[in-house]
Amino acid sequence: QAGLTQPPSMSNDLGQTATLTCTGNNNNVGNEGASWLQQHQGHPPKLLSYRKNNRPSGVSQRFSASRSGNTASLTITGLQPDDEADYYCVAWDSTLSFWVFGGGTKLTV
Amino acid sequence: QEWLVESGGGSVKSGGSLRLSCGASGFRFGDYYMSWIRQAPGKGLEWISFITSSGTFTKYADSVMGRFTVSRDNAKNLLFLQMNNLRGDDTGVYYCARELDGIDVWGQGTTVSVSS
């Protein structure tokens, strides 16, 4: 079943800014946007942003989400060691009528 | 604080069955759609099923259609996943999750291991 496209890996330095991307189509990301999840090794995913790009309470302002057309982005500023994790995007596909995930981006800091 | 706690995972032979449970607390369980999502070892996240808030509508990924059944008991704040005819590629961590403008609350996961 179709999924969203994310680069498999990315590496950035401490204190720098990382921008992760997630590409879908008009039926998913381009329709209602994508939300972003962070997963540290051995832990469950944690929501970083809702589809409307707003953050849940408790999530650092260093994480911000946006969308342009069929591509969603997650920007992480002031990279810290604990930001090293896997990041997943997820969107509702209105044609398939279920959630589709990206393959995840492994961020190395 | 909103919590989801899965249980029922374990080791089973190919062709066997397991029933996963997910207990919810800290929110009005009956108001929310719920999903099951799994993660094979070293792999990404895969949505496998959702159920509407009342339980009247369900949907499944092709990979589990006809073998898995999702259900819920809103009076007891419980979500279930009955898994039959398990295969090796069903091995992984199974998460229950709440849907709200995305998938916002996740359990800690329960591990299913299917061997031949």
According to the model, what pLDDT value does residue A2 have?
62
Alpha-carbon span A80 to B108, nearest angstrom: 24
Give B54: exposed, middle or buried? Use CB within 10 Å, 0-12, 13-18, 19+: exposed
Mutation site, B5, B47, B93, interface A, largest A CB count within 10 A = B47
According to the model, what pLDDT value does residue B44 have?
96
Residues B100-113 pLDDT 10s: 888 999 999 999 99
Chain B residues close to A86, C-beta within 8 Å? 44
- Contact between B109 and B81 under an 8 Å Cβ cutoff? The reply is no
Pairing of β A46-49 and β A35-39: antiparallel
Please say if the pLDDT value at position B17 is more than 70.
Answer: yes
Please say if the pLDDT value at position A13 is more than 80.
Answer: yes
- Contact between B37 and B46 under an 8 Å Cβ cutoff? The reply is yes
What does the radius of gyration of chain B's CA atoms come to, in whole angstroms?
13
Chain A residues close to B95, C-beta within 8 Å? 44-45
